[in-house]
């Protein structure tokens, strides 16, 4: 593996991904196309990224970058992943600041509503893809649906859901092990 390939993979992920689709793009680049990580390694790093405080995708990028290239890999990965979004955000802020009519046009045209629908579709496609790959039994399906329902409809804080889900699976695993 060359460091330039690593940088290109994370630049591409940072440039092409929005919200939850970052996970799908990273998985495709690092596991499926380049085989830098196995499926199990990637899933373990996803779990670590979700448990560490801070933005999930940045945590995931740091974890995968470290897994691939150590500290140097983590630094290069996070820099390459953040750079495209940073540049787009700076350009957008400058444009909106200097040309206020753009902001008015965006509000009145419904572009924001269309973008929200597109992002919701991307998130849903990633969730379905992950469920299809990782959920193999009826128990896992019910648990995943209950977790999503709890997060979305009951508005339970995410850390509490993670702790409760982890404790539930630990209890079930211990009960199954005793049999």
> Could you tell me if 37 and 19 lie in one domain?
yes
> Could you tell me if 158 and 83 lie in one domain?
no
Residue 64: predicted pLDDT: 92
Per residue of the chain (179 residues), give pLDDT as tens: 678 888 888 998 888 776 667 778 888 888 988 898 998 899 889 888 888 888 888 899 999 999 998 999 999 999 999 998 889 888 878 877 777 666 666 666 666 666 666 666 666 666 677 677 777 788 777 877 777 777 677 777 777 777 777 787 788 778 878 87
Residue 123: predicted pLDDT: 64
> Could you tell me if 165 and 119 lie in one domain?
no
Number of domains in the chain: 2
> Could you tell me if 175 and 99 lie in one domain?
no
> Could you tell me if 173 and 106 lie in one domain?
no
> Could you tell me if 147 and 79 lie in one domain?
no
User: Could you tell me which of 23, 62, 58, 65 has the C-alpha nearest to residue 43?
Assistant: 23
> Could you tell me if 63 and 79 lie in one domain?
yes
Residues with Cβ within 8 Å of residue 102, at least 6 apart in sequence: 95, 96
Which residue, 99, 117, 134, sits at the end of a domain? Answer: 134
> Could you tell me if 100 and 177 lie in one domain?
no
Which residue, 98, 113, 134, sits at the end of a domain? Answer: 134
pTM for the model: 0.60
> Could you tell me if 39 and 114 lie in one domain?
yes
> Could you tell me if 146 and 159 lie in one domain?
yes
> Could you tell me if 95 and 41 lie in one domain?
yes
Residue 78: predicted pLDDT: 93
Distance CA(117)–CA(111), nearest Å, equals 10
Distance CA(161)–CA(137), nearest Å, equals 21
> Could you tell me if 100 and 164 lie in one domain?
no
Burial class of residue 85, CB neighbours in 10 A (0-12, 13-18, 19+): middle
User: Could you tell me which of 125, 96, 108 has the C-alpha nearest to residue 19?
Assistant: 125
- Domain containing 172 equals 136-179
Residue 79: predicted pLDDT: 93
> Can you say whether the dihedral through the CA atoms of 87, 90, 95, 96 is positive or negative?
positive
């Amino acid at each position: 593996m060359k460091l330039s390939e690593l940088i290109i993979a994370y630049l591409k992920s940072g440039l092409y991904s929005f919200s939850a689709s970052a996970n799908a793009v990273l998985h495709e680049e690092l596991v499926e196309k380049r085989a830098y990580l196995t499926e199990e390694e990637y899933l373990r790093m996803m779990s670590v990224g979700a448990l560490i405080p801070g933005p999930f995708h940045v945590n995931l990028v740091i974890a995968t970058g470290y897994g691939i290239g150590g500290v140097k890999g983590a630094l290069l990965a996070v820099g390459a992943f953040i750079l495209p979004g940073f540049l787009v955000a700076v350009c957008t802020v400058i444009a909106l600041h200097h040309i206020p009519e753009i902001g008015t046009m965006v509000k009145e045209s419904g572009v924001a509503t269309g973008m929200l629908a597109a992002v919701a579709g991307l998130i849903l496609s990633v969730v379905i893809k992950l469920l299809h790959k990782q959920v193999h039994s009826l128990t896992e399906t019910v648990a995943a649906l209950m977790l999503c329902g709890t997060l979305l409809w009951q508005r339970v804080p995410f850390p509490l859901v993670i702790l409760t889900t982890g404790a539930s699976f630990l209890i079930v695993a211990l009960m199954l092990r005793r049999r």
